[in-house]
């Protein structure tokens, strides 16, 4: 989906968090309480991505009893398998899994379990890459990934390692058509709740339609700033948004364009400096430093 089409599509944006944990793995709160906090904060959907590990008996947290007309829990897990070049377990979220998804198989590695989850219909994300120094070479072995976490709030406030742009852009530079998500990664052991989310347009609030919209890139990610409209006319990009101090257009390598002003709500940016970049993505920067990120656009 183009950025123009996302904002002109009918229907409201739905707010969702794609990474959270409960007491079924290493979270501090039980499923019911995690769901309650997100529902009461106005979220429309939530992926409970408990760690799919033998030490937790391979949980696939089932929150279907909390589904309402205005809230959808998504069947999900954070998958792990040996072993990347740093000798660390892989961390990969799979959203939209069947509840009978089999535990990690003997001899299964990161690329294999990711492929098995993708074949089962899941939306696959490479999560908090900076937190465990995931390399570009390793990431390129996951041939079914849909997205990279461009921002993980829990990893930012606990480790100062929440930024995944290095990996996202490296994959884009190598022709991988990746999407960008921002998430809480809430464990409720720190102020890691309600700080980063996606704004998504889907055909309905059913899990299948939400997962399909994720795969189609029908969303943007944010810590608070709001995209109202993005329009592209030849080499001119026009962005309407909540009040920010900067609008950036980021491309391959160091290629970029930008506009800065206090309280900026509309920016018209010449894209000609990015003529040699096959892709670009738009970033909003508010006065308090909070950001919003569009998905990458391929020319």
Which CATH number do you get for residue 292? Answer: 2.60.40.10
**Same domain (yes/no): 258, 194:** no
The residue from 203, 221, 239 where one domain ends is 221
The chain-wide mean pLDDT, for the chain, equals: 98
Q: What is the CATH number of the domain that holds 169?
A: 3.20.20.140
pLDDT of residue 193: 97
pTM over 0.85: yes
What's the average model confidence in pLDDT over 97-113? 97
Q: Count CB atoms within 10 A of the CB of residue 165.
A: 18
**Same domain (yes/no): 58, 203:** yes
The residue from 221, 239, 266 where one domain ends is 221
DSSP state letter for 68: B
The residue from 221, 237, 262 where one domain ends is 221
**Same domain (yes/no): 192, 231:** no
**Same domain (yes/no): 236, 213:** no
**Same domain (yes/no): 35, 65:** yes
Residues 214, 197: Cα–Cα separation, whole Å: 13
Q: Count CB atoms within 10 A of the CB of residue 290.
A: 15
What whole-number percentage of the chain has pLDDT above 90?
96
**Same domain (yes/no): 213, 242:** no
Closest CA to 203 of 36, 1, 48, 61: 1
> Looking at the predicted structure, is the pLDDT value of residue 87 above 90?
no
Closest CA to 180 of 194, 193, 166: 166
Domain holding 267, by residue range, is 227-298
What is the tens place of the pLDDT at every residue in 182-204? Answer: 999 999 999 999 999 999 999 99
Exposure string over 215-231, b if 16+ CB within 10 A, otherwise e: bbbbbbbbbebbbeebe
């Amino acid at each position: 989906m183009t950025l123009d089409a996302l904002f002109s599509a009918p229907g409201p944006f739905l707010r969702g968090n794609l990474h959270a944990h409960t007491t079924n793995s290493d979270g501090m709160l039980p499923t019911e309480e995690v769901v309650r906090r997100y529902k009461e904060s106005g979220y429309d959907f939530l992926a409970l991505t408990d760690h799919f590990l033998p030490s937790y008996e391979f949980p696939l947290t089932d929150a279907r009893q909390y589904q309402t007309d205005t809230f959808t829990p998504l069947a999900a897990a954070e998958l792990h398998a040996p072993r990347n070049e740093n000798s660390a377990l892989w961390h990969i979220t799979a959203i939209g899994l069947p509840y009978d998804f089999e535990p990690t198989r003997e001899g299964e590695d990161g690329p294999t379990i990711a492929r098995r989850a993708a074949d089962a219909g899941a939306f696959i994300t490479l999560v908090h890459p900076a937190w465990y120094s995931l390399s570009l070479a390793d990431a390129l072995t996951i041939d079914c990934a849909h997205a990279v976490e461009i921002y993980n709030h829990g990893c930012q406030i606990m480790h100062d390692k929440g930024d995944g742009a290095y990996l996202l852009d490296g994959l884009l530079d190598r022709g991988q058509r990746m999407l960008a998500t921002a998430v809480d990664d809430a464990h409720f052991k720190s102020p890691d709740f309600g700080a980063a989310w996606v704004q998504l347009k889907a055909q309905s609030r059913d899990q299948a339609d939400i997962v399909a919209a994720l795969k189609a890139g029908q969303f943007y990610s944010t810590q608070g700033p709001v995209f109202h409209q993005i329009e592209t006319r030849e080499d001119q990009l026009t962005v309407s948004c909540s009040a920010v101090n900067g609008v950036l257009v980021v491309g391959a390598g160091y290629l970029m364009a930008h506009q800065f002003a206090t309280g900026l709500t509309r920016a018209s940016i010449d894209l000609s400096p990015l003529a040699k970049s096959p892709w670009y993505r738009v970033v909003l920067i508010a006065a308090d430093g909070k950001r919003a990120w569009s998905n990458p656009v391929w020319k």
